[in-house]
Amino acid sequence: MAEHASASLISARGLTKRFGEFTAVDAIDFDVAPGESFGFLGPNGAGKTSTMRMIGCISPVSAGRLRVLGLDPAMDGAQIRGRLGVVPQSDTLDLELTVLENLLIYGRYFDLPRRIIRARAAELLDFVQLTDRANDQVEPLSGGMKRRLTIARSLINEPDLMLLDEPTTGLDPQARHLLWDRLYRLKQRGVTLVLTTHYMDEAEQLCDRLVVMDKARIVAEGSPRSLIEQYSTREVLELRFPPGVQETLDGRLDDLAERTEALPDRLLLYTPDGEAAAVRVHERGFTPESVLVRRSSLEDVFLRLTGRSLVD
Amino acid sequence: MSTPAALRVYEHHAMVYRRTYQGSMISSFLNPVLYLSAMGLGLGTYVGRSGTAAASLGGLSYLVFLAPGLLAAVAMQQAAGESMWAVMGAIKWNKTYDAMLFTPIRIRDILAGHLAWVTTRLISVTGVFLLVMTAFGAAVWPSAILAVPAGVLTGLAFAALITAYSASQDNDDGFNALNRFVLVPMFLFSGTFFPVSQLPELIRPIAYLTPLYHGVELCRSLALGRIDPGPVFVHVVYLAALVLVGTVLAYRAFLRKLAR
């Protein structure tokens, strides 16, 4: 680890955030390499946003060591922030200004010359498909448009590192896919992305590597694929029974799988071969209302690690 | 070539202001015209030039007595207007300050930029007020020009203290109380409309402690060319100290709210 630390864009050791008696982030360690796409996955309240705010040099570190771009946030916060692009959970756009004015003033915060800001703003509006809304007020824009404007804004200083806190929460599927595409293009250009999410598909789409956080701690780390291999089986058999039946099974199907998970509406059987398991369920005289065999996903890893479903 | 960060915050305020400046400029002219006509000319004719009440005005016509006091009071109102909902909104509702803090802007720059912007607005409204006063024949030049910096200082004392208050609140419930129980009584009883010496003896010390009393007295002595160095010094030091205290408190409140 130590020899990598200097090459890391972000390096955290024992990173801790306390609010009075409450510990929001409890001594976590992680490194983010240049060009990497790194995700913090976890339920609400796991400590993701607090971690992001410390990386963003907004929230002071309570304990531990944090280096961002090789610098100490406590000493060089303003200098670090000059090279970050931040997309916060809530857009924080200036509703009294137009789309273009939002970019212009934001560029000024970085002390960029107006000529350069104008040129970049035009490019960025094109990049996020808002060129024809440049002179419109921000207030009436859709949620997806505001989110895209926030992303364009965060790119005005051509950041080395982007921090995205739940970039697509609350957006409709089309808007999410457009955003993912734009983030993927940034990644292709070599921009390092650090994001938080509680969407499994988002993490699988965007992250090279991720950590799962639960109750202020990191509980697992790896690529989406390696996490699935490590914490789940190749396939999952989902059984949905008529109301009341699932409660009467008393574990009589447990020996058909490496592990089972009883959700309120269905039973999950973790097994290398879902079809074979389904056949044996029928052989034992059970007739579920629906049977689904699928590949394991991060959602399953999440259920295993945190013991509850993600979007709560 | 680099611009100080506080000035970049100031640019934001100026950009937002550009949308509303026409209405704002009109009201900064109309306000003094209306007040000075109604109270100074209209009501003023009922205020005799003799008797104990008149004597307490120091031989001034009511219009001439009133105008510089109103200048100070208008500075107070302007400062309050810029430092209540606007500050709470930028912290809590629109999160404009959060957005600034994702960039190299620091909390101290946000506060300095805010106070610099309020200063600009104060120069503008007190300057216009002085012009209107002059047109009404209620200013003695050249010393009257000093009423502008005096008004700005008065306004800044309020801006700093009220910004500290606004930043320390979790919602806007307190603003109505601040208006009703602090700002309006101060407006009425701090020597703008009648000398504090006319107040009951028990209440008078309270009036002497209010920032507005010192602002009114300072503006009045400067606008009318009746400069007594001792009291002027006391007023300036008192107001400057309040600016300082308010700024420190506001900075602490900003830290608590924005750097969590």
Which residues form the domain of B202?
5-258
- Model confidence at B24, in pLDDT bands (50, 70, 90)? confident
Q: Find the helix packing angle between B21-35 and B62-83, rounded to 10°.
A: 150
B57-62 average pLDDT score: 79
Query: What is the reported pTM?
Result: 0.89
- C-beta atoms of B104 and A60 within 8 A: no
B212-231 average pLDDT score: 92
* DSSP structure string for B3-54: PPHHHHHHHHHHHHHTTTHHHHHHHHHHHHHHHIIIIIIIGGGGS-SSHHHH
Q: Which of B220, B42, B12 is nearest to B133 (CA)?
A: B220
Q: Per the structure block, which two tokens stand in for A164?
A: 């995205």
Distance between CA atoms of residues A213 and A211, nearest Å: 6
Q: Find the helix packing angle between B229-258 and B147-168, rounded to 10°.
A: 30
Q: Is the pLDDT of residue A139 over 50?
A: yes
Q: Is the pLDDT of residue A305 over 90?
A: no
Q: Where in chain A is the domain with CATH 3.30.70?
A: 233-295
Choose, out of B20, B101, B254, B257, the residue to mutate when testing the contact with A (most A CBs < 10 Å). Answer: B101
Q: Is the pLDDT of residue A95 over 80?
A: yes
Q: Does A110 touch chain B (CB under 8 A)?
A: yes
**Chain centre distance of CA A35:** 16
Query: Which pLDDT does position A5 carry in this prediction?
Result: 45
Q: Does B108 touch chain A (CB under 8 A)?
A: no
Q: Does A76 touch chain B (CB under 8 A)?
A: no
CATH fold, domain A2-223, is: Rossmann fold (3.40.50)
Q: Is the pLDDT of residue B25 over 80?
A: yes
Q: Per the structure block, which two tokens stand in for B133?
A: 């006063």
Smallest CA–CA distance from A57 into chain B, residue: B102
- C-beta atoms of A154 and B102 within 8 A: yes
- C-beta atoms of B3 and A154 within 8 A: no
CB of A218 closer than 8 Å to CB of A187: no
- Over residues B38-49, the pLDDT tens digits come to 887 888 777 766
Q: Per the structure block, which two tokens stand in for A259?
A: 């592990």
- Model confidence at B10, in pLDDT bands (50, 70, 90)? very high
- Model confidence at A256, in pLDDT bands (50, 70, 90)? confident
Strand partners, A37: A193
- C-beta atoms of B96 and A19 within 8 A: no
Distance between CA atoms of residues A214 and A46, nearest Å: 5
For chain A, what is the mean pLDDT? 89
- Over residues A214-234, the pLDDT tens digits come to 999 999 999 988 998 888 888
Amino acid B203 reads I
Lowest mean pLDDT of A247-251, B72-76, B209-213, name the range: A247-251
Sheet holding A37-41, edge to edge: A84-87, A161-165, A192-197, A37-41, A209-214, A217-222
Q: What is the CA radius of gyration of chain A?
A: 22
Q: Where in chain A is the domain with CATH 3.40.50.300?
A: 2-223
Distance between CA atoms of residues B169 and B253, nearest Å: 9
Per-window interface: B 239-258 vs A, CB < 8 A? 258
Lowest mean pLDDT of A135-144, B45-54, B210-219, name the range: B45-54
- Model confidence at A266, in pLDDT bands (50, 70, 90)? confident
Domain count, chain B: 1
A43-65 average pLDDT score: 93
- Model confidence at B32, in pLDDT bands (50, 70, 90)? confident
- Over residues B93-125, the pLDDT tens digits come to 999 999 999 999 999 999 999 999 999 999 999
Q: What is the DSSP letter of A247?
A: G
Q: Per the structure block, which two tokens stand in for B185?
A: 């009584």
CB of A7 closer than 8 Å to CB of A163: no
Q: For chain B, first and last CA: distance in Å?
A: 33
Query: Which pLDDT does position A309 carry in this prediction?
Result: 54
Distance between CA atoms of residues A218 and A37, nearest Å: 17
Question: What's the CATH class of domain A233-295?
Answer: alpha beta
Size of interface A-B (CB pairs under 8 A): 75
Q: Which of A201, A161, A171 is nearest to A89 (CA)?
A: A171
